[in-house]
C-alpha cells in the first residue's frame, strides 16, 4: 500500500493573497512541491525548508516536462511522499488536473483536490469587469482558446454557433495566439462585430495590462501593442463597465517598481503597504540583522537591571534581542519594575506595549534628538543611570548628549547589522534597463551598504534616473553625502507614512 499522497492545489491567478487557506496548509505539509510557470513562486516559502522543489512549467510551447512526464513524476513521488502539485488558477479548469487525477487513481495513489481561485473570474474582476450584471447578461462560459494539438481538422469541441449567440459573457483561456480565429468564428456565427472585448495580460499581478477593443479590431490592437501570453480574453457587453469599475490599475503606485533595501526580516510590512498601493516591489536587503559577537555584555547588564533609572529602546530589534536574553536568563519583564522606559518610534513602542509594559516616554519625532529634548525638559538628569540596548554600530548623539547632561550611560550591543551578499547582480540589470522607478532607504546604514554593494562609478548615473526616497532627515543627509538627490521624505518618520509619501509623490500630491 502506498504511504504518500498528492494534493492537486490551485494556486490562484497570480496575486499571492488569492491562495486559499487550505492550499497554504497543504504546502506546509509538503515533502515535494511540483509547480507550474503560472504558480507564484512566493508560495514556495510556505513549504518546509527541506521540501524538494520541482519546476515543470510550460511556457509558449517550451515545456520543461511533457504532461506524460509530469504524470509519471507525480506517481513516482506520490508513492511514499506528501506531494503538492501547485497549479496556476484552479486545477480542474483548463489545468489538466483531471488528467493527473486519473493517473493517480490508476496507480492507486491517494489524492485530494484543493480548488483555486480561477483566472476566469479573478482576472476580469481585477480589470473592473464583472462577468455577470443584471443590466447586461445572466450567462457566462469559460472556453479554451487553445485546443489540444493532436485533434484532427474539424474535430473542435467548441460549439461556435451556440457559443456566439447563446452566451452573454465569454472568457477565453490561452486565447492570444489564436485570437484572430476566435474573433472570426464568433462573428461568422452571429456575434456582433461591435461586441466589446478585453484582453488582460498577467492579471491580478503588478504587471497587469488591459487592452480593450471590439471583436472586429481587437486582434489588430493586440498585434500592434505586441501583447503576449499569458492573457485572458473577455468577450461581452460587461466589458463596457471597465471604465466605471476599474480599480486595480488606478491605484497610485500601479505600474511603478520600487526597490526595497530594508533588512529582509523587516521588509515584509513595508512591502505589503507598497503593494497595497499598487507597486511592484523588488527586494535588495542591504542589511541583515544578527546577534552581536558576544552576549556577555548584555547578559551582565541584565543581571543588574534594577540599578538603572531609565532604559531607552531605539528599535524593534533592540526590544527583540533584549527580551530574548531575558528569557535565556530565566527572567521576564517583571525585572523592569521600577525602571522607566523610553522608546523611539511607534513600532518600537508597540513592541514594548505588546509585552504589557507601560511606556514613560515616546517622543513625537522619531529620532534620537527628540528623545534628548524630551528627557532634558522633563527632569534634571544629573546622576541618573541610563541603559541603551541597541545596534553594535550606531550614532552616539543620544549617549553623548545624556552624558553631557550629567547622566551615567551604559550602551550595550543587543544586535549587529551586517551586509548580506547576493541579489545585487540581479538588481543591476534592472537599473540599467530603467525598470526601477524608486529606490527606498530606511536608515543611513541602508544607504552606505547599498553603495558598498556596487561599483560607485557604474551605479551613480543609474540612480539619477530613479526617484530616491528616504524615511527621515538623518537617512536623507547620508544619501546626499553619497551624491543622491532625495525627492521623497515623509513628515512622520514611520513606515506607513513613508509608503504614503511615495504614493503622494507619484499622485502629484506632495
Residue from 22, 58, 177, 221 carrying the catalytic annotation: 58
CA distance 440 to 447: 9
Grid coordinates belonging to 360: 514613560
CA 503 to chain centre: 17
Strand runs labelled E in 80-161: 82-87, 111-114, 140-144
| Residue 462 CA, distance from chain mean position | 24
- Are the beta carbons of 241 and 128 closer than 8 angstroms? yes
First-last CA distance in the chain: 66
Catalytic residue among 36, 256, 347, 384: 36
Q: Is 396 a catalytic residue?
A: no
The residues that bridge with 415 in the sheet, in sequence order, are: 391
The answer to whether 176 and 231 are in contact (CB under 8 A) is yes
Classify residue 299 as exposed, middle or buried by CB count within 10 Å of its CB (0-12, 13-18, 19+): middle
Residue 36 is a catalytic residue:
yes
The answer to whether 174 is a known catalytic residue is yes
Q: Is the Cα torsion angle 213, 218, 220, 222 positive or negative in sign? A: positive
Which is catalytic among the residues 81, 174, 392, 400? 174
- Contacting residues for 319 by C-beta, under 8 A, at least 6 apart: 313, 348, 351, 352, 355
Catalytic amino acids?
Answer: 36, 58, 174
Amino acid at each position: 500500500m502506498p504511504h504518500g499522497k498528492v494534493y492537486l492545489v490551485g494556486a490562484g491567478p497570480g496575486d499571492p493573497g488569492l491562495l486559499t487557506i487550505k492550499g497554504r496548509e497543504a504546502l506546509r505539509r509538503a515533502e515535494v512541491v511540483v509547480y507550474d510557470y503560472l504558480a507564484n513562486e512566493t508560495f514556495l516559502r510556505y513549504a518546509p525548508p527541506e521540501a524538494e522543489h520541482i519546476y515543470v512549467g510550460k511556457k509558449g510551447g517550451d515545456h520543461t516536462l511533457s504532461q506524460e512526464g509530469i504524470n509519471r513524476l507525480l506517481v513516482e513521488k506520490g508513492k511514499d511522499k506528501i506531494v503538492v502539485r501547485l497549479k496556476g488558477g484552479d486545477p480542474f479548469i483548463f489545468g489538466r488536473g483531471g488528467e493527473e487525477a486519473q493517473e493517480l487513481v490508476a496507480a492507486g495513489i491517494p489524492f485530494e483536490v484543493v480548488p483555486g481561485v480561477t483566472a476566469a473570474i479573478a482576472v476580469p474582476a481585477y480589470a473592473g469587469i464583472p462577468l455577470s450584471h443584471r443590466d447586461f447578461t445572466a450567462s457566462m462560459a469559460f472556453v479554451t482558446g487553445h485546443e489540444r494539438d493532436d485533434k484532427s481538422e474539424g474535430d473542435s469541441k467548441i460549439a461556435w454557433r451556440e457559443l456566439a449567440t447563446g452566451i452573454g459573457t465569454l472568457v477565453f483561456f490561452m486565447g492570444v495566439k489564436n485570437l484572430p480565429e476566435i474573433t472570426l468564428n464568433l462573428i461568422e456565427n452571429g456575434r456582433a462585430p461591435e461586441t466589446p472585448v478585453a484582453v488582460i495580460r498577467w492579471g491580478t499581478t503588478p504587471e497587469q495590462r488591459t487592452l480593450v477593443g471590439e471583436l472586429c479590431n481587437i486582434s489588430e490592437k493586440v498585434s500592434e501593442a505586441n501583447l503576449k501570453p499569458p492573457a485572458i480574453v473577455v468577450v461581452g457587453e460587461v466589458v463596457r463597465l471597465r471604465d466605471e469599475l476599474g480599480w486595480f490599475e488606478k491605484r497610485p503606485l500601479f505600474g511603478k517598481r520600487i526597490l526595497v533595501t530594508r533588512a529582509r526580516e523587516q521588509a515584509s510590512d513595508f512591502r505589503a503597504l507598497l503593494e497595497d498601493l499598487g507597486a511592484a516591489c523588488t527586494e535588495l536587503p542591504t542589511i541583515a540583522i544578527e546577534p552581536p559577537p558576544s552576549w556577555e555584555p548584555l547578559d551582565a547588564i541584565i543581571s543588574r537591571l534594577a540599578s538603572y533609572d531609565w532604559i531607552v529602546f531605539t528599535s524593534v530589534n533592540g526590544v527583540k534581542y533584549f527580551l530574548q536574553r531575558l528569557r535565556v536568563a530565566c527572567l521576564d519583564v517583571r525585572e523592569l519594575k521600577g525602571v522607566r522606559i523610553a522608546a523611539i518610534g511607534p513600532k518600537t513602542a508597540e513592541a514594548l506595549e505588546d509585552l504589557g509594559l507601560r511606556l514613560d516616554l515616546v517622543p513625537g519625532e522619531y529620532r534620537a534628538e527628540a528623545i534628548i529634548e524630551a528627557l532634558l525638559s522633563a527632569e534634571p538628569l544629573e546622576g541618573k543611570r541610563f541603559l541603551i540596548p541597541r545596534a553594535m554600530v550606531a550614532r552616539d548623539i543620544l549617549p553623548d548628549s545624556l552624558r553631557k547632561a550629567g547622566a551615567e550611560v551604559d550602551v550595550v550591543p543587543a544586535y549587529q547589522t551586517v551586509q548580506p551578499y547576493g541579489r545585487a547582480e540581479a538588481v543591476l540589470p534592472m537599473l540599467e534597463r530603467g525598470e526601477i522607478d524608486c529606490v527606498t532607504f530606511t536608515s543611513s546604514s541602508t544607504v552606505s551598504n547599498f553603495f558598498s554593494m556596487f561599483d560607485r562609478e557604474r551605479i551613480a548615473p543609474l540612480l539619477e534616473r530613479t526617484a530616491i526616497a528616504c524615511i527621515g532627515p538623518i537617512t536623507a543627509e547620508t544619501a546626499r553625502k553619497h551624491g543622491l538627490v532625495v525627492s521623497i521624505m515623509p513628515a512622520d518618520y514611520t513606515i506607513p507614512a513613508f509608503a504614503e509619501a511615495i504614493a503622494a509623490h507619484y499622485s502629484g500630491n506632495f
